[in-house]
């Protein structure tokens, strides 16, 4: 142990929530048996999960091969991921079970059963074959949140083609880069999709991207928006026309456990996207395990809703592969949470009787800003478990979620994981874990976590760098086409450990508290302060719905803390009161030098706050790329306010 912490720990949360007797009595897991089993032999533990949760066409001979930093799981085994998600449920007599309740933003609906999903997937797999797609090829998917997006992914898995899904809000340049890096053969897109009551065109953006993609031979276009598009003869095909002609039967081909299932691109520090590689057997095992046990899934009765987009890893693992492998019934929603009103999400929860709800902290804080009265309009009593994903959740947002959405009865599973990890790594088990608002609690069974300092020495209490100490089934298998970058990015900082750049702290009870990216740690007068802690302190004030904090260059302190705050409805901003509140909550060293009040924060279309742009604003620099923002006008307004009201000492 060492006293040299990588990140200062300024505040601690004392409230605790024990699983209720009512929840525990019906929970899949209500004791520590899974943890005990995994601690004895984590490889054997994962082998048991693979045997119980996944159907194999050929047994593996070796559970795990670990040649740091490269892993293989269930070596020699064969399976088909699409079969596991579809065929086996239909063969078990569950073809009439609802796979997706689809809710379009305009209010149109579709009910898709497992039998229907299997039929569509088989037909589209044959469509892909007819376009020359073979095992090992890459297929790009650029779609709105509609069932055809999941169908396209499952069809690729059925024939062994790796899919690369690109979020529908990304620009033409982003799409071009991802197609070219993967050397994709086919692009699947749509004419457009619905967002905020209007059609956003996808085919037009795709056409622009395809001007620089020599490997694309064919484009399949789903008709969703009904907007006018240009179809290029010989290259572009309507989905519905191809499907009408497709053979209805396409047997699921057995794949090696290490067959590449998908690429998913994530931003790199150099600006060049990284194609994260995930394979089949290990990924599906951990996806199914975590979805079943973290969400306490009772597949025959639960209605599960993950609000993510399939363009992100959360959509891959917790909309497509994990839930479908477990035979779950889901809600899929196409649009934004405030169309036509701020209560749209809660209207959907009530309509479909959602029992398990999984969303992001930034969405929760937005709901807080809109007011308690919005969820109060609807009967949310069907909910029995809530989840949080995407970034650390501050304690007051956790409490609001608990009280106003969960009725103070639903356990909350605050989950930490990454595109690279493939599945949840740190989370409560809802029938077992006593939770603390804002803490992801502990590593799941079979996961090795350790906090270390700058020198790689163990940290028992306080802040440090979060590392993973042993391989796990869903781990990334590398970066597409660049094994050296894989080693350098994830395995070079601390010898023998995986480190992807997140900070955390440990309290006296061993609970883990995620502090966000270490890139976002601020150096203030020699103190290394996490933006997450200051943001949590600000949001704990009753007037604040959301806050974003950045460190700006300062001649005196090295960096000064600059805060951007969105208020709850009915409150007025009091900068000095908020500065003093932060000092009381976590210490005077963390008092923001300046606070700017804003009706909104610059966010990507997935809801992530763009702190890089906020630093640009704070330091008076020209803005970088704003093409991924949901509303680029937000940063222009912040620039204006910063210019008119310079920070005071």
User: Domains of the chain, with CATH numbers?
Assistant: 1-16+448-519 (2.30.38.10), 525-644 (3.30.300.30)
How many other CB atoms are there within 10 angstroms of residue 633's CB atom? 11
Q: At what angle do helices 42-53 and 33-40 cross, to 10 degrees?
A: 120
Q: Please give the mean pLDDT across all residues of the chain.
A: 92
User: Rounded to two decimals, what is the model's pTM?
Assistant: 0.87
Q: What is the pLDDT at residue 7?
A: 63
Mean pLDDT of all residues in 343-368: 95
Q: Is the pLDDT of residue 646 over 60?
A: no
- DSSP bridge pairs for 122: none
Mean pLDDT of all residues in 373-401: 95
Measured CA to CA, the distance from residue 99 to residue 345 in angstroms comes to 19
Measured CA to CA, the distance from residue 330 to residue 214 in angstroms comes to 38
% of the chain exceeding 90 in pLDDT: 76
Mean pLDDT of all residues in 336-360: 97
Q: What is the pLDDT at residue 648?
A: 42
pLDDT of 483-540, one tens digit each? Answer: 999 999 999 999 999 998 899 999 999 999 998 888 777 777 667 687 887 888 899 8
Given a contact cutoff of 8 angstroms between Cβ atoms, the answer to whether 328 and 83 are in contact is: no
Q: Is the pLDDT of residue 2 over 50?
A: no
Measured CA to CA, the distance from residue 296 to residue 290 in angstroms comes to 9
Mean pLDDT of all residues in 105-127: 98
Enclosing H/E stretch for 648 = none
Could you tell me the strand order of the sheet in which 385-388 lies? 109-113, 98-103, 329-333, 303-306, 356-359, 385-388, 412-414
Q: Is the pLDDT of residue 572 over 60?
A: yes
Q: What is the pLDDT at residue 298?
A: 98
For the ranges 101-110, 205-214, 361-370, which has the lowest average pLDDT?
A: 361-370
* CA-based torsion, 123, 127, 132, 133: positive or negative: negative
pLDDT band at 10 (very low <50, low <70, confident <90, very high): low
pLDDT band at 636 (very low <50, low <70, confident <90, very high): confident
Q: What is the pLDDT at residue 357?
A: 98
Helices and strands per DSSP (H, E), number in the chain: 22, 29
Mean pLDDT of all residues in 339-362: 96
Q: How far is CA 332 from the centre of its chain?
A: 15
Instruction: Tokens 């699409």: give the residue.
Output: 82
Q: Please give the residue that has the higher pLDDT: either 155 or 268.
A: 155
């Amino acid at each position: 142990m060492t006293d040299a912490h990588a990140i200062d720990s300024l505040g601690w949360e004392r409230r605790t929530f024990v699983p209720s007797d009512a929840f525990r009595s019906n929970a899949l897991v209500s004791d520590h048996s899974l943890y005990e089993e995994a601690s004895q032999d984590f490889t054997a533990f994962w082998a048991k999960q693979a045997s119980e949760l996944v159907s194999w066409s050929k047994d593996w001979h070796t559970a795990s091969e670990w040649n740091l930093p490269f892993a293989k799981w269930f070596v020699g085994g064969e399976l088909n991921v699409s079969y596991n998600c579809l065929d086996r449920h239909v063969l078990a007599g569950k073809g009439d079970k609802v796979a997706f309740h689809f809710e379009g933003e305009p209010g149109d609906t579709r009910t898709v059963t497992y039998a229907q999903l299997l039929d569509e997937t088989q037909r589209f797999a044959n469509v892909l074959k007819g376009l020359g797609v073979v095992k090992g090829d890459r297929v790009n998917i650029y779609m709105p949140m509609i069932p055809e997006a999941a169908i396209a992914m499952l069809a690729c898995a059925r024939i062994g083609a790796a899919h690369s899904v690109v979020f529908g809000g990304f620009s033409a340049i982003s799409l071009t880069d991802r197609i070219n890096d993967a050397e994709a053969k086919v692009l699947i897109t749509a004419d457009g999709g619905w967002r905020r009551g209007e059609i956003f065109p996808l085919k037009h953006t795709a056409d622009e991207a395809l001007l620089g993609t020599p490997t694309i031979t064919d484009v399949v276009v789903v008709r969703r928006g009904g907007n006018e598009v240009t179809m290029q003869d010989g290259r572009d095909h309507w989905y519905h026309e191809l499907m009408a002609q497709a053979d209805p039967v396409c047997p699921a081909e057995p794949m090696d456990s290490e067959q590449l299932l998908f690429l998913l691109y994530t931003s790199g520090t150099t600006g060049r996207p990284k194609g994260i590689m995930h394979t089949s057997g290990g990924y599906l095992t951990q996806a199914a395990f975590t979805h079943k046990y973290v969400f306490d899934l009772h597949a025959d009765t639960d209605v599960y809703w993950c609000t993510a987009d399939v363009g992100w890893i959360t959509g891959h693992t917790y909309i497509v592969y994990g839930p479908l492998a477990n035979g779950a019934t889901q809600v899929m929603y196409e649009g934004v949470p405030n169309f036509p009103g701020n209560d749209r999400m809660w209207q959907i929860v009530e309509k479909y009787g959602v029992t398990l709800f999984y969303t992001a902290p930034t969405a929760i804080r937005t709901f807080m800003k809109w007011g308690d009265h919005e969820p109060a309009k609807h009967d949310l009593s069907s909910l029995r478990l809530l989840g949080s994903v995407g970034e650390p959740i501050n304690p007051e947002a956790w409490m609001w979620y608990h009280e106003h959405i969960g009725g103070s009865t639903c356990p909350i599973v605050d989950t930490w994981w990454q595109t690279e990890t493939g599945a949840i790594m740190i989370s409560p088990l809802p029938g077992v874990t006593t939770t603390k608002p804002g803490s992801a609690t502990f590593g799941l069974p079979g996961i090795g976590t350790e906090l270390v300092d700058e020198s790689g020495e163990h940290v028992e209490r306080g802040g440090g760098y979060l590392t993973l100490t042993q391989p796990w089934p869903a781990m990334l298998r590398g970066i597409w086409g660049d094994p050296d970058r894989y080693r350098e990015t994830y395995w070079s900082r601390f010898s023998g450990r995986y480190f992807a750049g997140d900070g955390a702290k440990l309290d006296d009870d061993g609970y883990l508290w995620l502090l966000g990216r270490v890139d976002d740690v601020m150096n203030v007068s020699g103190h290394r302060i996490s933006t997450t802690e200051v943001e949590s302190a600000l949001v704990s004030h009753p007037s604040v719905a959301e806050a974003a904090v950045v460190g700006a260059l300062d001649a005196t302190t090295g960096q000064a803390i600059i805060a951007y705050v969105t208020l709850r409805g009915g409150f007025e901003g009091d900068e000095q009161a908020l500065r003093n509140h932060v000092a009381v909550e976590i210490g005077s060293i963390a008092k923001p030098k300046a606070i700017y009040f804003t009706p909104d924060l610059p966010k990507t279309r997935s809801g992530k706050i763009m702190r890089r742009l906020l630093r640009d604003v704070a330091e008076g620099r020209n803005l970088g790329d704003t093409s991924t923002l949901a509303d680029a006008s937000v940063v222009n307004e912040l620039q204006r306010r910063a210019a008119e009201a310079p920070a005071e000492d």
